[in-house]
Structure 1
Amino acid sequence: MSVPSGLPQDTPVAGGEQRVLRFSIAATAVVAALGIVFGLMSGSYAIVFDGIYSLADGATSLVALLVVNLIAGYNASGSQNRRLAEKFTMGFWHLEPMVLGATGLLLSGAAVYAFINAIGSFLTGGRPLQFGQAIVYAIATVLISLGMAWYGRRANRHLRSELVAMDIRGWLMSAAITAALLVAFIVGLAIQGTSLEWMSPYVDPAVLALVCLVIFPIPLGVVRRALEEILLVTPTALKQHVDAVAQAVVERHGFLSHRAYVAKVGRGRQIELYFIAPAGWPARTLEEWDALRDEIGEAIGDDSPDRWLTIAFTTDREWAE
C-alpha cells in the first residue's frame, strides 16, 4: 500500500521561501546592472565578469523560484492544479536537483571562460583601469551581498530550504569575489604615481584570473550532490535509519525479513518498505494493517509533505525484490 504524503502546499514556510528568492532575484538584478555599467565605465573586465556572473546567478534563481512555485502549488485547489497533479503524479521533487546541478555547471563554466580571457589580456599587456569608479562599485556590491546573505540566513533558520541555502552561498561567494576586487583596486590606486605604476594595467586581469581559480571548484560540490540525487544514489544515513526501524518491526511482530529502498531527491525522501510474512499467517483486518503502517511511519519519523512512504506486506519474496 502506498502512503504518499504529497508535496508542500502554499504554507507560510513555502511562501517565505518564495519571498526570499524573489527578493534575492531583485537584488541580483541590481548588482548585475551595477557591474555591467561600472565595468564598462571603469574599463574593468573583472567587474563586467562580476556583473555577468550575477546575471547568470539571477537567471538560475528565477528558475529555482519557478520550481518552488510548482512544488508549493502542487496540492493547491483549482482545476489547473488538479490537471497538473494528474500529469505529474510523482510530484516535482526531481526538478530541484536538476536546477541546482545546472546552476553549478553554469557558474563553473562562466569562471573557466573568464579565466581564459584574463590570461589572454595579461599576455597582451593588461588594460588601463579607472580605479576610483571600480572602488565605488566594489564597496556597494560587498555591502549588498553581505546584507542579502544575512537576510537569507536569518530566513532559512525556519525555512531550511536547499534552494535558499544555495542562494546564501551565492551571495557569500559574490561578497568574497568583490572584496578581493576591492583590495586589488585599492592597491592599484595606491601605486599610481609611483615606480610601480607600470603594474597597474595588470591588476584587473590578474585579480580576475585569481578570482576565477578560487570560485571554480565551489559550485562543483553542489553539482556532485545534485547528480547523486538525480541518479538516486542511496543516502547512507537514511537507509541505516529505515533498516533499523524495519528490523525492530520484524523482530517485534514476527516477520521473516524486510526489504528497504530509499532515495533523496531534492527536499523529497522516497521510502519503500516490504515486510516478508510467513505463509499461513492468521488473517487480519485492513484496520489492523493500517494501524501497523501508522506505527512504522511514526517510528521512521519526520512525517512532512516531503516524505513519500510506501509500506507493503507479502509472503512472496519476489514482490519485495
Structure 2
Amino acid sequence: MSTEQDILRQSIAATFAVAAIGVGFGVLTGSSSIIFDGIYSLTDASMTLLALLVSRLITQQMSERRQARLVQHFTMGFWHLEPMVLGLSGVMLTGAAVYALFNAVQSLLSGGRELQFGQAIVYAVLVVVVAAGMALRNHRANRRIRSGFVELDARGWAMSAALTGALLAAFVFGWLIQGTRWDWMSPYVDPAALALVCLVVIPLPIPTIRRALADILLVTPADLKQHVDAVARQAVDRHGFLDYRAYVARVGRGRQIELFFIVPPGEPPRRLEQWDAIRDRIGEEIGGESPDRWLTIAFTTDLGWAE
C-alpha cells in the first residue's frame, strides 16, 4: 500500500465485505444491532469511495484528455472538494446513528427481540479482527502519507472495532444468561447494545465535521497565519517596504496564501529577475512547497490593490 489511492481501494473492498457479512448475519440472527453495523459499514464504504474519487482528482491521476477538460472548468484546483466529502461523510454517519438510536429505543419500549447469540458472537469476533487489523495497517501507512482521507478511514476502522467489541461483550452476556434467572433480560440485550453503541457513535464525527466546515468557510488557521506574518514582516524590514497584507486559508490538504507588499512610491526600478529572487526567498521561508501549496506574492505602491 504505497499510495493514498491504494489504501482507500483496499479499505473500500474490505468495508463492502464487512457490510455484506453484517447485513447477512443480522437477518440470519434477527439482530438489529448487527444490521446497523452492516449498514454503517456500507455508508462508510460509500463515503470512502467518494473520497477515492476526490483524491484522484486532487492528484490528477487520470488521462491527459480528461484532465485537460476538467482543468478548464476547475482552474483553481479540486482542494475544495475534500472538506465537502469529509463533512458529508461525518454528517451521514452521525445521521445513521441517530436513526438507529430511535429504533433501538422503540424496540426497548416494545419488549425487545429474541436473538441467536451464538451466530452473533461469531460475526462479532470476525469483524473485530478485520477492523482492528485494517485500523492498525492504515494508521501505520498514514504516518508517511499524512492524508486526511486515510486518517478518517483508519479512525473509522478503529471505531468499528471498538463498537463491534462492545457488541461482542453484549452478545456474550446474553448467551451466558440464557437458562438462568436472568433469562428475561435476553430480549433486551440487542436493542440495549445498539442504543449504547449509537450514543458512542453520534458525537465521534463531530471534530471532522467542524474541521470540514472551517475549511469550507475558509477560516484562517491561526498557526499558519502567524508563520506567514512573521516571514512577511522580515521581508518588509529587509527590503524597506512600507507594509504588507497577508491572506491565508486552508482548504482540505491545500494551503492558499496571498501576500501583497506595499512598496514606497518612487523606488528605483528593479529588474524582474530581482523581484523573482525576492519571491523565491519569501517562498522558501514560508516553506511547504508542494502541489498542495497555492502561493501568490505581489508588489504594489497602491494599498487599494492589496485590500
TM-score calculated relative to the size of structure 1:
0.94
Q: Specify the code of the residue in structure 2 equivalent to 1:168.
A: A
**Structure 2 residue 272 is matched with structure 1 residue 270:** no
Q: 2:32 aligns with which of 20, 27, 45?
A: 45
Q: Specify the code of the residue in structure 2 equivalent to 1:35.
A: G
- Cα deviation for residue 188 of structure 1 reads 0.4
**Structure 2 residue 294 is matched with structure 1 residue 317:** no
**Structure 2 residue 7 is matched with structure 1 residue 20:** yes
**Structure 2 residue 124 is matched with structure 1 residue 138:** yes
With over 3 angstroms needed to count, the CA separation of the structure-2 counterparts of 1:77 and 1:189, relative to structure 1, is closer
Q: How does 1:1-321 map to 2 (within 5 A)?
A: 16-73=3-60, 78-321=64-307
Q: Specify the code of the residue in structure 2 equivalent to 1:244.
A: A
- Cα deviation for residue 89 of structure 1 reads 0.4
Q: Specify the code of the residue in structure 1 equivalent to 2:214.
A: E
- Cα deviation for residue 72 of structure 1 reads 1.5
Note the residue ranges of structure 2 that are not aligned, 5 or more in a row: none
Q: Specify the code of the residue in structure 1 equivalent to 2:86.
A: L
| 2-structure distance, mates of 1:157, 1:278 | 46
- Cα deviation for residue 128 of structure 1 reads 0.2
Runs of 4+ in 1 over 3 A off after TM superposition: none
| 1-structure distance, mates of 2:82, 2:289 | 20
Secondary structure of 1:128 counterpart: coil
Q: Deviations over 1:91-145 (max 9, x none)?
A: 0000000000000000000000000000000000000000000000000000000
Note the residue ranges of structure 1 that are not aligned, 5 or more in a row: 1-12
Secondary structure of 2:56 counterpart: helix
Q: Specify the code of the residue in structure 2 equivalent to 1:48.
A: I
Identity of aligned residues (%): 64
With over 3 angstroms needed to count, the CA separation of the structure-2 counterparts of 1:241 and 1:287, relative to structure 1, is same
Q: Specify the code of the residue in structure 2 equivalent to 1:59.
A: S
- Cα deviation for residue 77 of structure 1 reads 6.5
Q: Specify the code of the residue in structure 2 equivalent to 1:240.
A: Q
Q: Which has the higher contact order (CA 8 A, sep 6+)?
A: 1
| 2-structure distance, mates of 1:231, 1:280 | 39
Cα RMSD of the aligned pairs, angstroms, is: 1.1
Q: Deviations over 1:142-173 (max 9, x none)?
A: 00000100110111111100000000010011
User: Which residue of structure 2 lines up, in the alignment, with residue 3 of structure 1?
Assistant: none
| 1-structure distance, mates of 2:140, 2:203 | 26
| 2-structure distance, mates of 1:127, 1:83 | 55
- Cα deviation for residue 79 of structure 1 reads 2.4
Q: Specify the code of the residue in structure 1 equivalent to 2:82.
A: E
TM-score calculated relative to the size of structure 2:
0.98
Q: Specify the code of the residue in structure 2 equivalent to 1:266.
A: G
